[in-house]
Amino acid sequence: MSGTEYPKEILESLEDYNIDIRDFMPGHGKGAKLLLNFNKISGLEQVDGVILKGREIENGIVADIIIMEGTKIEEPVHLCFGVNKETGVQEIFPRIIAEDNTEVTVQAHCSFPKANGLIHKMFGHFYIGKNCNFTYSETHYHGENSGAFVAPVAYMYVGENSVFENNFNLTRGTPGKVKIMIDIYAMKNSVIKSNIRAFGKSKKDSVRIRDSVFLEGENARSIIKMKAAARDGGEVLMYGITEGNAPNCNGHVECNEIVLGKGSICRARPFIRAIDPTSSVSHEASLGRFPQKWLDELLAKGLTEEEATQVLIEAMLQEE
C-alpha cells in the first residue's frame, strides 16, 4: 500500500512531534503494521514471528496482535488509528499477546486532526509473557479545536522477569476531553516504567489520566513518571497508583505539573498502598509554577517571559 491511500492530514499530523507517519507505512521498514482509517483497515503487513489479525466493525476494529515465542525484532510494530473526520465515534478493541522471551516495540499513533466532537474509545488488553522486553509507545494528536473526546482503557499484564515500558504522549495540538485508564499488573521480578506526558492548552481541554501499577509478584519494581502542564484555563489530573501486594516489591510514583495562566488547574493524586509488610512504595509530586530562578536565567538571555516559559515546558515534557 502506498502512503497516498491514507489521508494526508493524518500522515502529516505528527510533524510537531518530529514523527512522519509515512516512515512507518507498509512498504517502509521491516516492522509489522496495522493501519485503521476510522473503521476501515487501510494496511496490514505481517512479518515473521508476528501474527496480526483485524476485523472491521461498524465503528472501528477488533484486532489480535501476537508476538510468537522468542521473537526479537528491531523494527517497531506500527499501529495507526486515525480518523480524518470532525465527528463520529471510533471504537478499537486490540489484544496484544507477547509470548515468552520476546523483544519488541509497539509504536501506536492515534491521530484525529479534524476532531470537533469526535469520540475515540479503546478497550485494550496486553499480555506480556516471561523474560520479555516490551515497549509500548502511544503518541496522540487531537487537532487544534479541542474537539476530541478520547477515552482509552488498557489492562496490561507483565510476566516474570520481563521489562515493560509504557509511554504516552499528548503534548502537541489540543487534547480536548481525555480520560485514560491504564492498569498494569507486574509479576515476579518484572520491571515497569510508565511515562505519561500531557498538555492542556485552553479551558476546553481536560486531561485526566489514571495510571496504576499493581506489584503482584515478588521483587517486582515500578516507576510511574507523570509530567503535565495546563495553561489558559486547561485542566489536568494525574492520578498515579502503585500498590505493593507482594513480598519485597518496590514502586514509585512521580508527578510534575506546571500551571500557567488564570483559570488553569493542575491536580495530582498519587495513591500508594503497601499491602505486603516487606513491600516499599513511595511518591513525590510538585505542582505549580516554574522556579523563578529558572525563568530569570532565560530572561537574562533575552527571551520574553512567554518564550522562556515555553522553553521550560518543552524541556520538562521531553525529559526522560
Partner 1 sequence: MRENTKYHNYRFIGKINVDEIQPWFDFTTTKPWDDPEIPWILDNKVRREILIILAKGPKTFQEIYERVNFSPKPLLITKEEYDCQISYNWTKKTVENHLMNLEWYNLIKLINKSYKLTIPILSTEETEKLEEYIVKFTENWITIIKQLGDEVKEKLGDLDKKTPLYEILIEKTIEKLYRILKEENLLPNQPNLKALWAEQLRKIKFEDWVAKNF
List the x/- string, 237-276, binding to partner 1 by CB under 8 A: x-x-x-x-xxx---------------------x-x-x-xx
Between strands 116-128 and 177-186, the pairing is unpaired
| 147 part of the interface to partner 1, by CB under 8 A | no
Residue from 7, 159, 173, 240 binding partner 1 (CB under 8 A):
159
Residue from 23, 30, 51, 70 binding partner 1 (CB under 8 A):
51
Residue from 22, 28, 85, 179 binding partner 1 (CB under 8 A):
179
Core vs surface per residue 9-48: b (16+ CB within 10 A) or e: ebbebbeeeebebeebbbebbebbbbbbbbbeebbbbebe
In this structure, what is the dihedral angle of CA atoms 211, 214, 220, 224, given to the nearest 10 degrees? 20
| 168 part of the interface to partner 1, by CB under 8 A | no
| 181 part of the interface to partner 1, by CB under 8 A | yes
Question: Please, are residues 31 and 73 in contact by the beta-carbon 8 Å criterion?
Answer: yes
Residue 106 in grid coordinates: 509497539
Read off the amino acid at residue 35: L
Residue from 8, 30, 53, 301 binding partner 1 (CB under 8 A):
53
What is the chain's length? Answer: 320
List the x/- string, 285-314, binding to partner 1 by CB under 8 A: ------------------------------
| 212 part of the interface to partner 1, by CB under 8 A | yes
Question: Please, are residues 207 and 235 in contact by the beta-carbon 8 Å criterion?
Answer: yes
Which C-beta is closer to partner 1: that of 7 or that of 270? 270
DSSP secondary structure, 157-213, as one string:
EE-TT-EEEEEEEE-SS---EEEEEEEEEE-TT-EEEEEEEEEE-STT-EEEEEEEE
Give the binding site for partner 1 (CB under 8 A). 51, 53-55, 57, 62-64, 66, 69, 91, 93, 95, 97, 99-100, 121, 123, 125, 127, 129-130, 149, 151, 153, 155, 157, 159, 179, 181, 183, 185, 187-188, 208, 210, 212, 214, 216-218, 237, 239, 241, 243, 245-247, 269, 271, 273, 275-276
